[in-house]
Structure 1
């Protein structure tokens, strides 16, 4: 009984323990690690992944996966930048719509939500596996980004838009406030709101959820739409920080997002995971990337190490699942 209780506590706090051990080790290996500037730099770097990972948490908890968020990020940022820089010509009317910075921001988030809604329709109405549906959306969004930008960056977006990615509030970078606010809001939603409990129910046992009267299709449609909108927010932050919409932005971001969610304790089979765990997962990846950079580790070895960490996290998840089933 005591042994099972100890294993449960270890599984519950393994992400926090891993983060603490990494912080201690890196602080001993580099005198630059435990500094205020470096801490804020880590938080700034993980803000984009945190926005993506919040949406990925909803999708994974509901029993799905989303491989399109990196491409959705790129298209959302590119559309916002293009509308802000060039406006939207309406040839039949002979006029051109001009967009303010806030208008471009709202449009970028709306584009992300629309693409996420498309993922949701493919999963719920066309009955496509989420892996296939979002893989298709990845290709669609990448192609649309290239068509919109012509394959060239869109630059010179102005200070008002740039403040979204480079501004500070009370000494803390604005992207940290945005991602932290979203994390707090969705943590409350997933813990206390009816919608959050419904998402857990759908991912935990879809058949039981359907018999209990839950509208599975609507819940999954909402989950993918929210994931797309959050990817749109991440795209705006990236674009604003660089003062440029890059056609190839967000390449590989979906892998970091999935890694953060799994490292944070979510189960790839659905029904289990928390936003707080995802925050810890993002911090672990951010601290790992930052520490390897400070130690002058080759970028190629960084990819190898990150892949090993992901495999270890999934292996621990499977081990914990077997222990829960056997107890």
Structure 2
């Protein structure tokens, strides 16, 4: 039996297919921008463009780590709860010590620890990812609500606030962070052995195991990365809002999943890119921003988001980008 050579570069055809899918999404984002610019003058204002970029960057932090999990055929439903717990613990440490660095380490460490727990549940206990992360979501929610007891922690040092509200050369700091992590994520998934192994696991975990890939270790790694990115997102949200409370992450999980799916990631595994997830985050942010500018009721926004996700997945299925069957 031949083995899978994960070091072999992807064929030109596969690369071109990825580029085509990215081009389609860029075209979709461009058409949305064109439509909004023609229907309202407020869309092209500098303040609104900056707001769109900032919101997209916050969504990207969550969705980029989640994308790695989805590439393996898994799912992390605990992202929002993870953000809430990480933010509340980071806020507590910052208020107690006055150190943004120590608080930041606690936030990142908490997020990574939650991701490791998810990875262990999925690999060592063989619990399906959906069930494992759904269970940890509720456990973390319970811990966070009990810990906070309805209280709010607010008022953080200016140097920490700059992480979410600061500007550099007129551009929000989170946007620069987004570019940095886009580069890191793209290099990791496309140019390293670890990244190629993640794609191989998503495409066929049995074949990946027979080829000598340490499947369990790589699964723990991607869940840990997803948790670490949730920890980073918690710090950016905390710095942006200047307050922490138990329900800070309640509404964040589904938009992160939507951004990854709109960006071309397949829940069946093996398909997707971090750059595609960024475009998905931009598309989702543009649509929601446009509805806000046009005065569309917030009650319609979940409906529109769901319709966009279904349409994006359907288009990919029709164009051969995804398959519900494993080879």
If the length of structure 1 is used for normalisation, what is the TM-score?
A: 0.90
Aligned to 1:226: 225
Mapped to 2, the partners of 1:58 and 1:322 lie a distance apart of 17
Secondary structure in structure 1 of the residue aligned to 2:319 = helix
- The answer as to whether partners of 1:64 and 1:130 remain within 8 angstroms in 2 is yes
Mapped to 2, the partners of 1:286 and 1:323 lie a distance apart of 24
Aligned to 2:213: 214
**Structure 1 residues 217, 155: closer, same or farther in 2, change over 3 A?**
same
Among 28, 44, 49, the residue aligned to 2:59:
49
What is the correspondence of 1:66-81 to structure 2 with a 5 Å cutoff?
Answer: 66-81=76-91
Mapped to 2, the partners of 1:13 and 1:32 lie a distance apart of 27
Residue 322 of structure 2 is aligned to residue 300 of structure 1: no
Aligned to 1:313: 312
Structure 1, unaligned runs of 5 or more = 1-5, 88-98
- The answer as to whether partners of 2:316 and 2:322 remain within 8 angstroms in 1 is no
Residue 204 of structure 2 is aligned to residue 194 of structure 1: no
Pairwise CA RMSD of aligned residues? 2.0
- The answer as to whether partners of 2:264 and 2:313 remain within 8 angstroms in 1 is no
Aligned to 1:26: 36
Aligned to 1:170: 169
Secondary structure in structure 2 of the residue aligned to 1:147 = helix
**Structure 1 residues 161, 325: closer, same or farther in 2, change over 3 A?**
closer
- The answer as to whether partners of 2:263 and 2:278 remain within 8 angstroms in 1 is yes
Mapped to 2, the partners of 1:198 and 1:8 lie a distance apart of 18
Residue 126 of structure 2 is aligned to residue 127 of structure 1: yes
**Structure 1 residues 151, 36: closer, same or farther in 2, change over 3 A?**
same
Aligned to 1:64: 74
Q: Deviations over 1:19-67 (max 9, x none)?
A: 1110110000011111222111101111211000101110000110110
Residue 146 of structure 2 is aligned to residue 144 of structure 1: no
Q: For structure 1, which segment, 190-199 or 7-16, has the greater mean C-alpha deviation from structure 2 after superposition?
A: 7-16
Secondary structure in structure 1 of the residue aligned to 2:239 = helix
Aligned to 2:290: 291
- The answer as to whether partners of 2:268 and 2:324 remain within 8 angstroms in 1 is no
Mapped to 1, the partners of 2:217 and 2:136 lie a distance apart of 19
Q: For structure 1, which segment, 152-161 or 20-29, has the greater mean C-alpha deviation from structure 2 after superposition?
A: 152-161
Q: In the comparison of the two structures, how many residue pairs are matched?
A: 310
Q: Deviations over 1:146-183 (max 9, x none)?
A: 12212211112221221211111121111111122111
| TM-superposed deviation, 1:323 | 8.7
Mapped to 1, the partners of 2:177 and 2:321 lie a distance apart of 37
Structure 2, unaligned runs of 5 or more = 1-15
Mapped to 2, the partners of 1:220 and 1:7 lie a distance apart of 26
